[in-house]
Amino acid sequence: MSDLQTRAVECWLPDLQRFDALHPLRSLLRRADRLDPGAVGYLGGLAAFFHCAEGLPAAALIREYLAGDAADACWLSADPSWLQPDLSGARLMACGHLQLNADEALALAETLKPVFADAGMALDISSPDRWHLRLPPGTALPDFDPPESALGEDLYEHLPQGEEGRRWRVLLNEVQVLLHQHPINAQRRTRGLPPVNTVWLWGAGALPSQVTTKLTGVISQDPLLLALAKRAGIPSQPREQVSVSAAGRGWLVDLQDLPVVDLASAWWPVLQAQARRQPLLLAFASGERYLHRPWHRMRVWRGS
């Protein structure tokens, strides 16, 4: 993070290509200065905002934020997910964000706990959408792909590979068999909701000894971003119009998970007011970055 970022409010936005030519945010971009490209993707963006000597152990960070008991254990996220079968196999359609309530999550997890216990692991429900495995010390782990790299893609291209991955592939198959005919999923189908028919394993590691950042604070709804802010010792606020309006220089406003239509309606007046008042660094999840200063509104020749 550069000194420039500490002198601006940074807005983390969805991929630039999702904004059509008539989106109001484009009016800021046309008058702003384009900067060198930044980080790409969700985890890439987080790694650019925060530094952990141990990498980015998402599971332990989220567990500590939600439950406060990550301690020295090794953790693995096992988030409830939805696979959609197709002619060639199955695709990951959602990871978390499945409108699970606490009772549904508990009922589904209770069915799976014996399977993981037989493998020497404990399945804990940190929140309805965030499940975690507490792993025995020294557990050999393959590489697990994060959800962002697998969403919409063939499941089998993102399963853990190699001899170390074989054990986990067998375990996931058992999980999918147990969830396939679970009564909770039958009830969800009658309500027009997708089934929870697998878990997605990712983010393995232990709680980092230290997290550092140059950010002053964050505004977000994302548990991992909020967990990093807490570990780094900086304040955080929920994403609301009043908090975004009050954000000062050095703060990160996390909007990257919002639909662009919402940014054009509910959030555009707030961003427009901020742009008139202080520098805005517009960082897109696809890597493009622009700096808009208040006086840039005078660049009327760029506005068409």
Domain of 75: which CATH number? 3.30.70
Q: Are 189 and 229 within one domain?
A: no
Q: What is the domain extent for residue 199?
A: 58-206
CB 62 within 8 A of CB 222: no
Alpha-carbon distance 215 to 130, whole Å?
26
pLDDT tops 90 at residue 105? yes
Q: Are 51 and 62 within one domain?
A: no
CB 80 within 8 A of CB 105: yes
CA 286 remoteness from chain centre: 15
How are the residues of the chain apportioned to helix, strand and coil, as percentages rounded to the nearest 5? 40, 25, 35
Q: Are 175 and 77 within one domain?
A: yes
The mean pLDDT value for 138-152 works out to 92
CB 96 within 8 A of CB 130: yes
Residue ending a domain, choose from 206, 235, 263:
206
Would you state the pLDDT for residue 1?
46
Nearest CA to 103 out of 188, 191, 224 is that of 188
Alpha-carbon distance 304 to 208, whole Å?
48
Beta bridge partners of residue 237, listed in sequence order: 219
Residue ending a domain, choose from 171, 206, 241:
206
Would you state the pLDDT for residue 302?
63
CB 5 within 8 A of CB 267: no
Convert the pLDDT of each residue in 225-272 to its tens digit: 999 999 999 999 999 999 999 999 999 999 999 999 999 999 999 999
The mean pLDDT value for 167-188 works out to 95
Length reported for the chain? 304
Alpha-carbon distance 172 to 224, whole Å?
24
State whether residue 161 is helix, strand or coil: coil
Alpha-carbon distance 237 to 226, whole Å?
9
pLDDT tops 90 at residue 301? no
Q: Are 261 and 296 within one domain?
A: yes
The mean pLDDT value for 276-293 works out to 96
Query: Secondary structure of 172-202 in the HEC alphabet?
Result: HHHHHHHHHCCHHHHHHHHCCCCCCCEEEEE
Q: Are 103 and 41 within one domain?
A: no
Q: Could you say which DSSP state residue 158 is in?
A: S
pLDDT tops 90 at residue 95? yes
Convert the pLDDT of each residue in 53-70 to its tens digit: 888 999 999 999 999 999
Alpha-carbon distance 249 to 217, whole Å?
9
The mean pLDDT value for 9-15 works out to 98
pLDDT tops 80 at residue 300? no
Q: Are 68 and 199 within one domain?
A: yes
Residue ending a domain, choose from 206, 225, 250:
206
> Sorting pLDDT into bands at 50, 70 and 90, what band is 303?
low
> Sorting pLDDT into bands at 50, 70 and 90, what band is 87?
confident
Beta bridge partners of residue 289, listed in sequence order: 283
Please name the helix (run of DSSP H) or strand (run of DSSP E) that holds residue 52, with its range, or none: strand 51-52
pLDDT tops 80 at residue 2? no
Would you state the pLDDT for residue 7?
86
What percent of the chain shows pLDDT beyond 90? 87
CB 98 within 8 A of CB 212: no
Q: At what angle do helices 223-232 and 42-49 cross, to 10 degrees?
A: 10
Q: Are 47 and 110 within one domain?
A: no
Average pLDDT, the chain: 93
pLDDT tops 80 at residue 51? yes
Q: Are 94 and 150 within one domain?
A: yes
Alpha-carbon distance 79 to 200, whole Å?
5
> Sorting pLDDT into bands at 50, 70 and 90, what band is 6?
low
Q: Are 86 and 195 within one domain?
A: yes
Domain count within the chain? 2
Q: Could you say which DSSP state residue 101 is in?
A: -
Taking CA atoms, 299 is separated from 34, 36, 189, 262, 277, in Å, by 14, 21, 54, 27, 16
Single-letter code of the amino acid located at 173:
N
Q: Are 268 and 284 within one domain?
A: yes
Q: Are 17 and 87 within one domain?
A: no
Q: Are 7 and 81 within one domain?
A: no
For residue 181, report the phi and psi dihedrals to the nearest 5 degrees.
-110, 25
Convert the pLDDT of each residue in 108-129 to its tens digit: 999 999 999 999 999 999 999 9
CB 72 within 8 A of CB 206: yes
